[in-house]
Amino acid sequence: MFARWGRFIYRFRWATLASSTLLLGLSVFGVLTGRELAGNGGFGADLEAGRTANLIAREIHFEPAAVSSGMTLIFSSSTLRVTDPAFEVALGDAVAPLQRDSRVSGVTTPYSVPASQQAGLISRDGRRALVMVEFKDASSKSQRYVNEIVAEVNPGPLAAVATGQVPINLAFNSTLDSDLLRAEYVAVPVTLLMLILIFAAVIAALLPLGVGLLAIVGGLAATMLLARFTDVSQYATNIVTLIGLAVAIDYSLFIVNRFRDELSAGASREEAIAIAMSTAGRAITFSGITVAIGLSAMLFFQGTFMASMGAAGAIVVAIAVLYGLTFLPASLAVLGSLVDWWPGWVKRIIPWLGSRRPAGTGAWHAMAIWVMRRPWFVLVPALIVLVVAGTPFLQLRMATSDVDALPPSNQARQGYDILISEFPGRNETSIEGVVYYPDSSPFTAEHVGSVYDLSRRLAAQPNVIRVQSIFDIDPNLSRPDYQNLYSGPHDALPPPMQEALAIGAGKHIVLLNILTNKPYPSDEARALVRTVRGEHVPDGQVLATGGTAFDLDVVNFILQKTPLAVGSVIAVTYVILFLLTGSVVLPL
């Protein structure tokens, strides 16, 4: 079948190249017009933490907020204190342009809030101040102009750094893009040099690299198309670029090398293409299928960003195989012996360039013979090295990434580190507990008492700083007082209690905001989530959400699905390799 396919490509080589050119044009169009990829925050809605967050959104109807995104500016001085008039004047002059910018919906400074709230906006040493800048647009849109707004700030005698939601999200995206570009700038020239050394021919070296670039462009276009139908992680582009280039070059090496061998043995172009397809073409087809199956294992992790990355990886492998079976043999059919071309002056200097060694000679052939004569002598040390290299996996600790994934030199990362270390309360992790009564109201006297007791139990847990809820309005109120007040008409409650109910309770839920000074992916914070979920109240459920809960649920979900994913990949791969080899032993 593959030999017939090779002859077909040879006869219609120009049509095949034209079709490949058309496909490249469509791919470029798809990349340029594709949808924006999602950040990891959009995933996890089907996990327990996601369902709990959706429950809160349904139950508590917050007033529509004008703020869709924002950033935090940190102003500092080595000589002035925030309470000094000169600091206040300098800060006011610095943020004045922002208050006139139509894209900014609000600017909050330590001097624009009540005295009771100023402490949270001033550092412990009194020499740094926070300014909260609110944008009218969502984060994905405000990222496009946040640098322009930061440039409007004229700190004068103060030093300023921008951090917060939008700058951090932009830092992740820009770091991802720059890493990809740097990888391509390094990988492409190095790969070309290695291919020239391997093939000892310029054209033969350029062909695999060309197939790799075609596979990347096609993979990116297909990923953008996929994003029109489902959320696709922004990190899918990494998978497409790295795997697409590597797999496409790897597969092309087989075909180009076999084609050159057949030409040097006296075969015609058509015969060389047919033989290359029936051997190397068949091998890369089955190899591509097995690689795509392995990457498709990530589809078992639906609801997380891994599923889209697996789909993108499988797509780019399929595209690499497609170009390897169409564009590459068609190009070889056109080039023929020119695949070994070198400029004449180069061949005069190095006459052995492009020459082929006789079969059964060379270092690789000698190594293969040596290994086959001493299989156990090679196998045992190799297994020992692999086992030793794999031992760090035993201490693997899974967690979702956060700001620490950014390089320390990044300004948004530096600002975040200052925010956490210098400002009171900014190093606290919030775990949002939810007491849910699906079939009744939380405001019966019995239920109010149960939730009150739960809030006090959680406040007594290790590493808990405090629990914020509708039960900490007035320290002079006791459990019976809260029962009498909340079980009665809410319209008769004092205004502070009505405000607390509006943001801290719903028709069937009561929120308990548990604060800890442990980092959100830490074992201590995860233990608190488990403690919250392990609590019980009569007639109700105790749930938890927040950053730590999502982190814990994603990790547990991955660990739960991994055995099924790995087992399925092994089983399907074994079947594919059995069809390739016709042996029940070789696939093992």
Helices 269-276, 2-11: inter-axial angle, 10-degree rounding: 140
Whether the CB-CB separation of 441 and 447 falls below 8 Å is answered with yes
pLDDT of residue 355: 59
User: Could you tell me the pLDDT band of residue 468, with boundaries at 50, 70 and 90?
Assistant: very high
pLDDT digits 0-9 by tens, 324-338: 999 999 999 998 888
Nearest of 237, 295, 312, 305 to residue 557 by alpha carbon = 305
H or E, element range at 486: helix 479-486
CA distances from 538 to 55, 251, 436, 529, 531 (A): 19, 63, 11, 20, 17
CA distances from 154 to 90, 101, 161, 174, 402 (A): 9, 14, 11, 24, 30
pLDDT surpassing 80 at residue 377: yes
pLDDT surpassing 80 at residue 45: no
For residue 144, report the phi and psi dihedrals to the nearest 5 degrees: -70, -25
pLDDT surpassing 90 at residue 458: yes
User: Could you tell me the pLDDT band of residue 499, with boundaries at 50, 70 and 90?
Assistant: confident
CA atoms within 13 A on the CB side of 59: 23
For residue 430, report the phi and psi dihedrals to the nearest 5 degrees: -105, 125
CA atoms within 13 A on the CB side of 542: 23
H or E, element range at 129: strand 128-135
Nearest of 465, 453, 474, 480 to residue 535 by alpha carbon = 453
- Quote the CA–CA distance of 224 and 232 in Å, as a whole number: 8
Whether the CB-CB separation of 10 and 273 falls below 8 Å is answered with yes
* C-alpha radius of gyration, the chain, whole number: 32
DSSP 409: T
Q: What share of the chain in percent tops pLDDT 70? A: 93
CATH number of 2-33+200-356: 1.20.1640.10
3-class secondary structure, 512: strand
Q: Which of 307-321, 341-355, 490-504 has the lowest mean pLDDT?
A: 341-355
Give the sign of the dihedral formed by CA 245, CA 566, CA 226, CA 23.
positive
pLDDT surpassing 90 at residue 526: yes
Domain regions of the chain by residue span: 2-33+200-356, 428-551
CA atoms within 13 A on the CB side of 20: 24
Look up tokens 């090295």; give the residue.
Answer: 385
- Quote the CA–CA distance of 543 and 527 in Å, as a whole number: 14
Look up tokens 């975040």; give the residue.
Answer: 416
| Average pLDDT, integer, range 288-293 | 90
CA distances from 28 to 177, 217, 319, 388, 434 (A): 18, 7, 14, 45, 48
pLDDT surpassing 80 at residue 419: yes
Burial class for 153, CB neighbours closer than 10 Å (0-12, 13-18, 19+): buried
For the chain, give the number of residues.
588
Domain 428-551 of CATH type 3.10.530: no
pLDDT surpassing 80 at residue 359: no
* Residue predicted with more confidence, 425 or 356: 425
- Quote the CA–CA distance of 117 and 110 in Å, as a whole number: 8
How far out from the chain centre does Cα 431 lie? 23
- Quote the CA–CA distance of 252 and 205 in Å, as a whole number: 10
